[in-house]
Chain A
Amino acid sequence: MACKTHNGTPPGVFFRRVLEKISGKFPEIKRTYVPTQCMQCEDPPCVKCCPAGAFSKREGGIVLVDNDKCYGARVCRVACPYDAISFLEDIPTYYPDQMTLAEQLWHKNYQRGTVAKCTFCNDRLQDGLLPACVQTCPTDALKFGDLNDPKSAVSKLIKTRRGYQLHPEYGTNSSVYYLS
């Protein structure tokens, strides 16, 4: 909700999804909830394969997309192993006759026929704030920090709680870690 509210994403577009994973066999069924988003990979396939050069890496490792450069080839969507990029075929509103305040504010950032994705709320980071999801999570399940600093809280957590990345075999070296 925080993500949708802050980014004003159109209906059907989710920068952050909490997936339901059901594993095991009856009667030993396990249900897990796994939040997924753009993994801000160290070696991002979207940056590599985008022919238009619309994707770039900001200082600090965050992957950004420039809507003015995207021409809608959707190679990034095909190449992203985390299903983290949304294609904006249309930009509908939640209510038929009017735009909400958030939509009025944010929809100008989106262009029909281009792609959009999570940027760890880049605008908030620039103002010295945390990403909206981290700020809002009521159980403090999300942490945000500097992975390059071994003394940072996130680096320590990854070390002590055996943090792991999704699909390390793809060699993307994602910046999002999950704690065991």
Chain B
Amino acid sequence: MMQIGDTEKAAELMLRYERNVPQSFEVQFRAQSDWRFWETAAFYFGGVGGGLYVVSQILQLQIGLIVGYVLVVVLKNGAHLLSASKPSRALRAFANPKSSWVSRGSYFLFLFTVFAALNIACQFELIEVGDVIEHSASILAFLSACLIMIYIGFVMGQSRAIPLWYTPTLPVMLLTYSLAMGGGAGFLHQLVIGIEQRFIFLGWWLLITDGLTLLLAVISVYMVSISSPAARISVQQLTKGKLGVLFVGGALIAGLLIPMILTGYGLIEKDFSSSLCFLVGILTLLGGFMFEFALLRAGVHNTAVNVDCGTVVRF
């Protein structure tokens, strides 16, 4: 119990009070701070894993199927569990598929876990099932991998107060970047196996998906930059400062543009050296992480109260 005149205690209480009271009660834009590293990691592993699985299924890359499966089922789910503050209740994520995209995503993950496992088991001839079941598992695993890549865009789009995320291009952009990352991971996979025909396919795959993503990113950033004030703050964050270096330098230039140039060179010369493949793969994968990270960090909530000219803007 505190005694009158106990100055040390009073000072401690004052410090405690100042730490706990929010810095400001002004109407202001609020930077999204709820989803951080583990959410980024979960979204990223879903993108790379789903992309690699799709590429591997098209190119019949058996190791790629397993790596893609592990990325999605172990790492993505693991990151989701680490991001939840009550992981023991995580099964409740299945409770609201009628309206929640996170819940729908949990079902997509479940479908992928089951059908991709069945598909891999069939590919490695671990089990004998009929042709119909084998083909159905293969198609359903492919579809659920695509859904895993795209649903994150809808999860982010459910937040209407964050204009950077509330765009129709976001789900498509996340899908194309995931497919590009799948192509990048495919290049790394091919370093080990090395079949010439597949390099050509992967080269075209990366060129198209990278090009589409770059185009969508430029269109999205431009569209957002001419909309609401919160959106303009997001664009400022994405194009300037540390986050700008990550998004423009890391995600767009190093992750998309340079791999496009390198693959274009490889396709023209019809020569995919190991160093070129390694560079393309690594740059695409690193760029993808920076892309997801920057998108999540640049999310800015509109003010809770309708804003007009002269409102204090503070983070």
Contact = CB atoms under 8 A, between A and B. Distances in A.
B311 A21 contact: yes
A48 B158 contact: yes
A38 B199 CA distance: 55
B102 A49 contact: yes
Contacts of A74: 34-35
The A contact surface, by secondary structure, is loop
A170 B159 CA distance: 10
B96 A89 contact: no
Interface stretch (A95-103, A137-145, A153-161): A95-103
B93 A34 contact: no
Interface in B79-115: 83-90, 92-96, 99-103, 106
B308 to A, nearest CB: 5
A52 interface: yes
Contacts of A80: 161
B30 interface: yes
A108 interface: no
B86 A75 contact: no
A117 interface: no
Contact of A12 (B21, B87, B89): B21
A95 B2 contact: yes
B16 A75 contact: no
> Which of B35, B86, B94: most chain A CB closer than 10 A?
B86
A166 B161 contact: no
A12 B106 CA distance: 33
A162 interface: no
B20 interface: yes
A36 B304 CA distance: 8
A49 B302 contact: no
B239 to A, nearest CB: 23
Given A36-B304, A71-B84, A48 B99 contact: yes
Contact of A51 (B32, B88, B102, B162): B102
A124 interface: no
A18 interface: yes
Contact of A96 (B13, B85, B160, B162): B13
Contacts of B155: 75
Given A11-B21, A22-B26, A81 B304 contact: yes
Given A50-B96, A80-B161, A166-B305, 14 more contacts: A14-B22, A34-B305, A36-B304, A45-B159, A50-B100, A51-B95, A53-B96, A70-B86, A71-B86, A71-B89, A74-B34, A74-B35, A79-B158, A114-B85
